[in-house]
Structure 1
């Protein structure tokens, strides 16, 4: 079985993207990295986005680091998800950076979180630490859109978290807030700072925050699809 070639052009539709993703299932990260002439990092501590970047090369993603979906032409976001031997997610899933100022008039319907999660190509990848990065295998892909129930769960959490941000309580938000969506610091180091609103409406400087999907949410999502 020959290793697929890296894609040079974005996929023209969902079916083409899914076919490309399915062609990668079963290969190791090392096999794909070698074919694409990409160096494999010793681990993912400093290269958290490396697996996603490698798969983007094969799938033809065009967004790069722009704040839009990875496949803007067909409205699909790519999310790799590290799983254990039982198929359960090993970590939370980053969705997007949270806006901490200028939020008047923003609704769930117009939010960046909802836009990013409208249509997602999930690609599970072996993620247990004892497996060397080069021999971790890629799993079968899943194209997903939130059900009405999932959309409602996400909306409720998003509205609760955004209310706290707008009311100047960003510093009091913990990872325990939210049933399926959480807000956590998102920075390369603890020296990074961004502007936010303080308790008395004054500008403050704080760590940048990001929205993350909790493991319980992605675990159910994968379990339903793969009948785990």
Structure 2
């Protein structure tokens, strides 16, 4: 893995340097083998980008470039430049959440400064032949922060009240809460509506595609 960049500008230059290259070219340099598809290797693209950009956090609950305060997010896009899937932000806390506010939340910390790296995501393009796009560094505007805060507060209220069965992908205008587990047996601790401990599926916060599409369109329209 390449050393961690010392500045935001150095990170952006590295990201620009790999723009236009194929996954096969990047994998060869990193010594990675290219899987046939991403069904069993969902994190492969992120790991490849982390290697080339010098991200050190891995799966730790902190920003990928902790010293710079920047999170790395790859975003698969279509031929027309639109996001093909929602963007995972972080795992939602289901216990020990007393006193957490939007301002102190892990979600806001993760989204405070993001390096977006678009990648070709159309399934008809073989994984090895897909290319990396032009990167951008983004921080939420006041309006975006307010939208994210409203959704976070709505979703966290449902968690606090133990209303897990009522949470659906329809909740949240720009951010949603969805189960995040390898299978239905991977349960975690939470508190139900009666305030008693229960077991439920882990949840994760995801950005809706229309939200990330607006970020990309605003940047590339400049």
Same fold (TM over 0.5): yes
Partner of 1:64 in structure 2? 58
- 1:184 partner SS: strand
State the 1:20 CA deviation. 0.1
Which one of the candidate residues 155, 165, 169 is aligned to 2:159?
165
Matches within 5 A, 1:169-184: 169-184=163-178
Partner of 1:94 in structure 2? 88
**How many aligned residue pairs are there?**
222
Query: Deviations 1:78-127 (Å, cap 9, x if unpaired)?
Result: 00000000000000000000001111111000000000000000000000
Q: Could you list the runs of 5+ residues in structure 1 that have no partner in the other structure?
A: 1-6
CA distance in 2, matches of 1:93, 1:71: 18
Which one of the candidate residues 104, 112, 117 is aligned to 1:123?
117
State the 1:8 CA deviation. 2.4
Query: Deviations 1:128-161 (Å, cap 9, x if unpaired)?
Result: 0100000001000010000000000000000000
Partner of 1:224 in structure 2? 218
CA distance in 1, matches of 2:181, 2:11: 31
Report the TM-score when normalising by structure 1.
0.96
Which one of the candidate residues 89, 102, 108 is aligned to 1:108?
102
Query: Deviations 1:183-203 (Å, cap 9, x if unpaired)?
Result: 000011111000111111111
CA distance in 2, matches of 1:202, 1:36: 48
- 1:58 partner SS: helix
Is it true that 1:208 corresponds to 2:187 in the alignment? no
CA distance in 2, matches of 1:171, 1:71: 36
Is it true that 1:152 corresponds to 2:134 in the alignment? no
Partner of 2:136 in structure 1? 142
Report the TM-score when normalising by structure 2.
0.98
Query: Deviations 1:162-218 (Å, cap 9, x if unpaired)?
Result: 000001102210011000010000011111000111111111100000000000100
- 1:81 partner SS: strand
Partner of 1:3 in structure 2? none
State the 1:25 CA deviation. 0.4
Moved segments of 4+, more than 4 Å: none
CA distance in 1, matches of 2:161, 2:79: 42
Is it true that 1:198 corresponds to 2:183 in the alignment? no
CA distance in 2, matches of 1:36, 1:49: 15
RMSD: 0.9
